[in-house]
C-alpha cells in the first residue's frame, strides 16, 4: 500500500498555486466596491505585464474558447474571408467558430504533429488578397507543436488582415512579443500558465483590430470586447465577474511579477527540453515532425503495439496522476503531459520515473533510469549555464 497524492499533469487545467487557492477563499465581497475595483484594475495592469503589451485587454468570465468566439463575433462580419492555420484540435475549433459566424474559411491544414509554415500563409495571402483575418495557435496543445507566430506576423502585417493568435497555452510558456511582432489579437485562459482553475479568458486587442469592431456586423452581447477593454482599467467589468477567480489571479500575477515573466517562460522551456530528452532516452518517439516543439506540453507516441490509453490509465491507477490522452484520431496513439505554469523539476523527475515504471509493467523493455538521467542532465546543464560556466 502506498499513499498517492493526486496531481494534474495535463495541458489545462494545470497545478494550482497554493497562495492563489487561499486567496480565492476570500470571495465574500461585492464587486462594485472600492476594494474590489482596486483588485480588478490591478489585475488588468498586471495582465499587461504578463502578456507584455500596451494593447487593450478584455477579461471574460468564460473558458478560453469564449475569448476565441469574441474575437470572431466582434471583429468580423458574415462573408469575410479568413485564413485558418489548422494543425490540431484547436485549429479545428477556429474553423468551427468561424463557420458558425458565417465567415469564409481558407483552411491551411497540416497533419497532426506538423505545423503550418509561414510560406503557406504567405502564399494563401497572395492568392486571397481580400483576406480579413488570419487565425493560428501559438501552441497547438493537442499535438505539442508551436507555430512561428513572429514570422507570420511579418507577412500578415503588410496586409489589411489582422492576425488572431490562440495563445491559450502559448502565453507564459513561449516567447510572444505582442507589440514588437505586431500580434493583433492574443488570447489566454486562466487554467493554463496562470495556475488557477478554469473560468477566465483574456485577450489583448490592437487598435488595428479594434477598429474593425466599429463596422463588423456579427451579433454579440455578453462578449463585447470594447466594453470590457474600456471598463477594466477603472476596476469594472460590464457584468458580474468571477470574483473568486479574480482574487486568485491577482495573487498569481504578483507571483509572476516576483519571479519575472521571462523566467516563467524559461522554466517551461527547460522542462520541455528535459521531457523530450527523457522520452527519447527511454526509446520513445516524439509525436512532432519538423516542427518547433511547444514549451507547454510534450506529446509522445505510445510504443508499437501499446495503446496510449494504458499509459494514461497507469498514471491514474499507480500514481493518482492525470495525464492527457491523444484527442480525436490521436486517441490511443499518443499521450501528453504538461510543464507550464506551476510546474517544477520535482514534478518532471517524478513524471519520468513513473513513466519508466508504467512502461515496464506494460511489458516494455527499457533501461531503467535512462529517462530520469536525461532529465537530470538538462537540469544540471541549466545550473551550469546560470552560473556562467562554473561546474
Q: Is 65 in the site for ligand PLP (CB under 6 A)?
A: yes
Site for ligand PLP in 249-278 (CB under 6 A): none
**Collapsed DSSP state (helix, strand, coil) of residue 379:** helix
| Cα 69 to Cα 391: distance, rounded to the nearest angstrom | 50
Q: Is 12 in the site for ligand PLP (CB under 6 A)?
A: yes
Query: Based on the number of CB atoms within 10 Å of its own CB, is 233 exposed (0-12), middle (13-18) or buried (19 or more)?
Result: middle
Span near ligand PLP by CB under 6 A; candidates 58-66, 274-282, 328-336, 338-346: 58-66
Q: Is 168 in the site for ligand PLP (CB under 6 A)?
A: yes
In the complex, least distance from residue 171 CB atom to ligand PLP, rounded to whole angstroms: 10
Q: Using an 8 Å Cβ cutoff, are 337 and 275 in contact?
A: yes
Within a 10 A sphere around the Cβ of 387, how many other Cβ atoms? 9
In the complex, least distance from residue 155 CB atom to ligand PLP, rounded to whole angstroms: 22
Q: Using an 8 Å Cβ cutoff, are 212 and 162 in contact?
A: yes
Q: Is 166 in the site for ligand PLP (CB under 6 A)?
A: yes
- Residues that contact ligand PLP, how many (by CB under 6 A): 13
Q: Is 325 in the site for ligand PLP (CB under 6 A)?
A: no
Quick one: which of 305, 302, 299 has its CA closest to 333?
A: 302
Q: Which is nearer to ligand PLP, 71 or 168 (CB)?
A: 168
Position among 36, 60, 90, 287 found at the interface with ligand PLP (CB under 6 A)? 90
Q: Is 372 in the site for ligand PLP (CB under 6 A)?
A: no
C-alpha cell, 49: 505585464
Q: Using an 8 Å Cβ cutoff, are 83 and 94 in contact?
A: no
Q: Using an 8 Å Cβ cutoff, are 37 and 232 in contact?
A: no
Q: Which is nearer to ligand PLP, 202 or 315 (CB)?
A: 202
In the complex, least distance from residue 294 CB atom to ligand PLP, rounded to whole angstroms: 9
Q: Using an 8 Å Cβ cutoff, are 187 and 196 in contact?
A: no
C-alpha cell, 132: 480579413
Q: Is 224 in the site for ligand PLP (CB under 6 A)?
A: no
| Cα 187 to Cα 185: distance, rounded to the nearest angstrom | 7
Q: Is 248 in the site for ligand PLP (CB under 6 A)?
A: no
Contact residues for ligand PLP (CB under 6 A)? 11-12, 63-65, 90, 137, 141, 166, 168-169, 189, 198
Amino acid at each position: 500500500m502506498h499513499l498517492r497524492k493526486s496531481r494534474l499533469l495535463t495541458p489545462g487545467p494545470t497545478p494550482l498555486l497554493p497562495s492563489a487557492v487561499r486567496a480565492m477563499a476570500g470571495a465574500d465581497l461585492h464587486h462594485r466596491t472600492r476594494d474590489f475595483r482596486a483588485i480588478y484594475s490591478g489585475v488588468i495592469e498586471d495582465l499587461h505585464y504578463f502578456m507584455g503589451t500596451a494593447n487593450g485587454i478584455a477579461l471574460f468570465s468564460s473558458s478560453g474558447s469564449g475569448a476565441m468566439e469574441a474575437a470572431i463575433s466582434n471583429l468580423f462580419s458574415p462573408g469575410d474571408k479568413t485564413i485558418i492555420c489548422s494543425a490540431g484540435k484547436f485549429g479545428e475549433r477556429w474553423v468551427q467558430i468561424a463557420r458558425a459566424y458565417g465567415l469564409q474559411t481558407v483552411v491551411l491544414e497540416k497533419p497532426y504533429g506538423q505545423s503550418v509554415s509561414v510560406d503557406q500563409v504567405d502564399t494563401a495571402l497572395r492568392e486571397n488578397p481580400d483576406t480579413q483575418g488570419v487565425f493560428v495557435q501559438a501552441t497547438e496543445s493537442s499535438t505539442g507543436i508551436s507555430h512561428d507566430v513572429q514570422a507570420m506576423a511579418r507577412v500578415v502585417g503588410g496586409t489589411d488582415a489582422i492576425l488572431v493568435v490562440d495563445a491559450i497555452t502559448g502565453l507564459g510558456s513561449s516567447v510572444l512579443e505582442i507589440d514588437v511582432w505586431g500580434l493583433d489579437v492574443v488570447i489566454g485562459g486562466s487554467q493554463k500558465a496562470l495556475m488557477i482553475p478554469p473560468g477566465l479568458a483574456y485577450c489583448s486587442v490592437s487598435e488595428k483590430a479594434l477598429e474593425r469592431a466599429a463596422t463588423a456586423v456579427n451579433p454579440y452581447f455578453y462578449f463585447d470586447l470594447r466594453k470590457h477593454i474600456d471598463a477594466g482599467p477603472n476596476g469594472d467589468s460590464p457584468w458580474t465577474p468571477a470574483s473568486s477567480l479574480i482574487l486568485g489571479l491577482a495573487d498569481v500575477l504578483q507571483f509572476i511579477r516576483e519571479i519575472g515573466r521571462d523566467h516563467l517562460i524559461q522554466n517551461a522551456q527547460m522542462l520541455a527540453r528535459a521531457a523530450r530528452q527523457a522520452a527519447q532516452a527511454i526509446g520513445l518517439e516524439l509525436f512532432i515532425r519538423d516542427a518547433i516543439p511547444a514549451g507547454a506540453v510534450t506529446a509522445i507516441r505510445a510504443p508499437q503495439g501499446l495503446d496510449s490509453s494504458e499509459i494514461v490509465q497507469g498514471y491514474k491507477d499507480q500514481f493518482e496522476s492525470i495525464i492527457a490522452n491523444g484527442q480525436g484520431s490521436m486517441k490511443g496513439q499518443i499521450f501528453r503531459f504538461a510543464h507550464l505554469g506551476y510546474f517544477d523539476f520535482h514534478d518532471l523527475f517524478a513524471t519520468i520515473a513513473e513513466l519508466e515504471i508504467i512502461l515496464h509493467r506494460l511489458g516494455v523493455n527499457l533501461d531503467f533510469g535512462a529517462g530520469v538521467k536525461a532529465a537530470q542532465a538538462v537540469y544540471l546543464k541549466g545550473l551550469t549555464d546560470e552560473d556562467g560556466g562554473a561546474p
